[in-house]
Amino acid sequence: MSSSSSTLTRVQFEQACKAFIDKHARSPLPSMGATTLEGWSWAEHPTVPGLGYLFRTVPLHGRALAPDKNGDFVQENVLQSAEFVDDPAIADGASPEFLTCEQSIAFSPTFQVPAFYFTIHDSRGSPVGLEEIMNTSLLRHHALPETQTTSFALFQRDALFPLLSQGDHPISGLPSWLIHPCGTACAMSELIGEKMAGGMPEVCSKEWLLVWLETWFLMLGNMVQL
Amino acid sequence: MTVVQFAQFSSLVQPTFWHELSRVKLDVLRLSDDSVPLTATYSTGRTIKDRNTGQDVPLGCNISVGGESFSEDYSPPPNSITARGVLKNYNTIEEFKNADKRALFNKLSDEIWDSIIQNHDVAALTRFLLITFADLKKYKFYYWFAFPAFAAQPLWEIDDDWTTPEAHLSQDQLTSLAEQLSPTPPPFFLVRPAQDNTVETAPVNEFSTFFADVPQQSQTIGFLDPSAQASAPGWPLRNLLAYLRAVHPEATQTVRVLCWRGDAASSRIGVLRGGPVDADKPSAVGWEKNVQGKLGARVADLAPMMDPKRLADQAVDLNLKLMRWRILPSLDLDKIAQTRCLLLGAGTLGMLRCANAHGTLFLLTLGDQGWGIRKITLVDSGRVSFSNPVRQPLFEFDDCIDGGKPKAEAAAARLRKIFPGVDAEGVTLSIPMPGHPIPPGSEEQTKRSVKVLEDLFDAHDAVFLLMDSRESRWLPTVLGAAKGKIVLNAALGFDSYLVMRHGARENPADGTRRLGCYYCNDIVAPADSITDRTLDQMCTATAVELLVSLIQHPSGVQAPAPPPGQDPQQLQEVDQGGSVLGLVPHQLRGFLAQFRSMAIVGAAYDRCTGCSETVLKAYETQGFAMMLRAFNETGFLEALTGLDKLYAEGEQALEAVDWEEGADEDF
């Protein structure tokens, strides 16, 4: 049982996630419109039990792909028939180049809060660099000097820009970007404090955990376009 | 009537696929070119909102592979269909280019045709081929997908356009359909009306019995459509139509097709007409084009994720960018990174730790954990001794054994170890100094040393003087001034320190006097620029921070020092003479016992032994000869600059004072 309202135990985290999925992710990502809290599934470590996390895959706008260097060799012997070259039965619609963002919410044992991990890659499986990530809509930018942005009451003293870091994904072990969870407990204690004043389900019950996680998503949504 | 156009499959590869392929190649395949079975998945077509126009733009007709594609008991995510495929990995790029792609493709399309004709099986309609070459040294993967689909002759045509299902089915029927197709629709299915305004679905191989008593216009063939384009159904439909024409030729001259895209609103229905059938296997198409739109391979570059050097690069880049975004968007990081730095003295490099409020190591502040400077050269004459590593973090115990490694080279090697991307070099060199005469036999050696030092100055932009004696700074001061380099001086007393930048050679454009060097101060009294005010206005800049401020200042080395007596807070504005990083002071003197530092301005002295025009011109015209005299002859520099006359004048003035003898003694 977590002794404070600003952190969770791993078991509570798992309970909260499963309740969250039940409530929000019943249908798969809708085909039209922006993605919000939907589309999350639960995944586990392949061999070790008890290490689970939420994950989902989200498309993002990206720039046109760089040409395939050295791969561009026209092959005569693949032309099956003259028809293929101008096959009228193939639709032109060039699909817009988009990037794939794989998002995870994993439990951080050091900080005892959920942490948001993501990787972004193009259709070839190449991960994109920092500049490219900044050009997508994933991270909300507060890169302008303090005076020019609206500050959220919680983050006045801290940096307005998300604490973007690199690290290994805790379950898969692959290099990932992450929003560092060091400030989470502090922010959560304020948010949960306010919520509890307004009336919440019994502390540490399943409903309480669900509200806790939804509040965490709200906080994440300030930094990340969910 | 228009020709039906199909959206071709567009491959989506996840990085885990390449990780797994590397592992399979290294552990399993080695040099074998056996085929490896793979499983790909596709799902219903999706759209994405365009940020600029707000319109919904269809994503491609995607089919994905990932690390799990290699596993035999693969369970697809919800709402996804699996497609079986075959991978052939080649061991060289030549084999990859010369592989008989037509033969591979035809083998696969034959298999599909056989499953249609002999087995009447729709399970094997969607197949794929993937050929690869993995360059594991460069973390690059060459690959080429093929999705065989039978091309109908003549082409399928559509009566009107594709419409939403409301035009053909009632609302209740659509609800019933959605129910039957959840949670995961089959890849291909049949639909017929049922009682109470509902529908029924069935697998395609029940075609004859399912549609036995159903009129043609009420028969619907459905498939899970990975395309989201309004007027183009996805690739799997081609083989489904080929199946229908082959197995039920009479009943499928006209076909009503439902492209199921997850819900009724996104789905499409169209009525298609085909031509007469012939019994031979139709020709097949389906090699994927690369991003240039040509028939060629694609290349995936995984170096950013797998190459350790690239990962290190990225980490540094991230630090710098975060600093910039969070604090100073107008920081010009490139200007800093391109500054080539020469460090004279690889001794107590941590000595400025005390002066830096952030506590970061001096050299690492310079190097890539800090400002990203890429070229650093260290010069020192000594060897690492046992007392060094505890104070000088770049050295280790092992460096002290066997007489000790040369300091400069050891420090450079350690820097490279910390960050391989830095161009760090160590040069062992003894810097000659005035007051330490050169023995006659060593003149040639000294001349060579001076030449090496001159070349080093030419090859760098900023020079740090970090030696442990006053006179050793003379030669670098002269060279730095003569060659117009940025010179930063740092010196440590017992409980005090000095950090300063030398002034430029020319007077600034605004007519003020140029700033002085280390030696100017010996004669000219410093003007105190901060009165003895608040202790908490401590300046915590180190020589590095001073350098960076200087570089960011629009006037560079000519940057004026803040005038004495003004409020330093005001002076931090760029338009008040600061850089984006704030003040660019001339000198900082710190007094540790008092926890205080002072920003001081010292104007240049025209008789300075280090930076006056007299000295510089003498160096430029006489070169090493002049230097030799400076090293060997006491009083040479004073005579050259006229300082000796100053002393004489001073003596005379003193003697000229008429000390009044007390005439009355009133004791």
Using CB atoms, pick whichever of B14, B296, B311 lies closest to residue A72: B296
For residue A223, is it within any domain?
A: no
Q: B6 has which bridge partners?
A: A90
Task: Indicate the fold that domain B2-149+300-305 takes in CATH.
Answer: Cytidine Deaminase; domain 2 (3.40.140)
Range in A62-76, B403-417, B466-480 the model is least confident about: A62-76
Instruction: Name the minimum distance, in Å, from the CA of A183 to any CA of chain B.
Output: 16
Backbone angles phi, psi at B542, to 5 degrees: -100, 180
Range in A18-27, B98-107, B239-248 the model is least confident about: A18-27
Q: What pLDDT shows up at residue B595?
A: 74
Residue B608 annotated among the catalytic residues of the structure: no
Contact B84, B210 (CB under 8 A): no
Q: Is the pLDDT of residue A204 over 80?
A: no
For residue A219, is it within any domain?
A: no
- Span B293-320, average pLDDT: 78
Question: Boundaries of CATH 3.40.140.70 in chain B?
Answer: 2-149+300-305
Chain B residues touching A164 at Cβ < 8 A: 318, 322
Q: pLDDT band at A26, cuts 50/70/90?
A: low
- Span B545-557, average pLDDT: 76
In this structure, the number of other CB atoms found within 10 A of the CB of residue B298 comes to 25
CA B621 vs CA B36, B313, B482, B626, B632: distances in Å? 77, 46, 11, 9, 19
A17: closest CA among A57, A46, A58, A50? A50
Q: What pLDDT digit, counting tens, does each position of B38-76 carry?
A: 999 999 988 877 766 777 888 889 999 999 999 988 888
Kindly report the CATH number that applies to the domain delimited by B157-281.
3.40.140.100
Task: For chain A, positions 87-146, list CB contacts with chain B under 8 A.
Answer: 87-93, 95-96, 98, 100, 102, 119, 121, 123-130, 137, 141, 143-145
Q: Which two tokens stand for residue B29?
A: 């395949």
In this structure, the number of other CB atoms found within 10 A of the CB of residue B167 comes to 10
- Whether B79 and chain A come into contact, CB under 8 Å, resolves to yes
Q: Which SS3 state, helix, strand or coil, does residue B166 take?
A: helix
Task: For chain B, positions 19-48, list CB contacts with chain A under 8 A.
Answer: 19, 44-48
The tally of domains found in chain A comes to 1
DSSP state of B131: E
Q: Which two tokens stand for residue B253?
A: 């001259």
Interface test with B, best of A126, A130, A140, A165 (most B CBs within 10 A): A126
Range in A7-21, A58-72, B74-88, B544-558 the model is least confident about: A58-72
Q: What pLDDT shows up at residue B599?
A: 77
Q: Which two tokens stand for residue A221?
A: 């949504």
Residues spanned by the domain of A118 = 25-181
d(CA B397, CA B412): 16
What is the length of chain A? Answer: 226
Q: What pLDDT shows up at residue A17?
A: 92
Range in B133-137, B138-142, B181-185, B317-321 the model is least confident about: B317-321
Range in B6-20, B261-275, B358-372 the model is least confident about: B358-372
- Whether A173 and chain B come into contact, CB under 8 Å, resolves to no
What is the length of chain B? Answer: 667
Sequence-ordered alpha helix ranges (H) in A9-162: 10-24, 82-85, 130-135
For residue A198, is it within any domain?
A: no
Share of chain B above pLDDT 90, in %: 26
* Closest chain B CA to residue A128: B304
- Whether A42 and chain B come into contact, CB under 8 Å, resolves to no
Q: What pLDDT shows up at residue A190?
A: 85
d(CA B281, CA B18): 35
d(CA B354, CA B499): 12
* Closest chain A CA to residue B59: A95
Contact B365, B371 (CB under 8 A): yes
For residue A217, is it within any domain?
A: no
Q: Is the pLDDT of residue B393 over 70?
A: no
d(CA A53, CA A142): 28
d(CA B560, CA B396): 41
Q: What pLDDT shows up at residue B631?
A: 87
Question: Boundaries of CATH 3.40.50.720 in chain B?
Answer: 310-650
Q: What pLDDT digit, counting tens, does each position of B402-442 carry?
A: 777 888 888 888 878 877 777 889 999 988 888 788 888 88
d(CA B535, CA B490): 22
Contact B59, B48 (CB under 8 A): yes
* Closest chain B CA to residue A25: B78
Question: What type of residue is A53?
Answer: Y
Task: For chain B, positions 326-385, list CB contacts with chain A under 8 A.
Answer: 326, 329
Contact A78 B102 (CB under 8 A): yes
Q: pLDDT band at A172, cuts 50/70/90?
A: confident
Question: Boundaries of CATH 3.40.140.100 in chain B?
Answer: 157-281
Task: Indicate the fold that domain B310-650 takes in CATH.
Answer: Rossmann fold (3.40.50)
Task: Provide the b/e sequence for B487-518 (b: ≥16 CB within 10 Å).
Answer: bbbbbbeeeebbbbbbbbbeeeeeeeebbbbb
Q: pLDDT band at A37, cuts 50/70/90?
A: confident
**Catalytic residue selected from B517, B539, B608, B611:** B539
> How high does pLDDT run on average in chain B?
80
Q: What share of chain A is helix, strand, coil (3-state, %, to 5)?
A: 30, 20, 50
Contact B97 A73 (CB under 8 A): yes
- Span B624-653, average pLDDT: 83
d(CA A130, CA B575): 32
For residue A195, is it within any domain?
A: no
Radius of gyration of chain B (CA): 40
- Whether A159 and chain B come into contact, CB under 8 Å, resolves to yes
Q: Is the peptide bond before A201 cis (omega within 30 degrees of 0)?
A: no
More confident residue, B78 or B72: B72
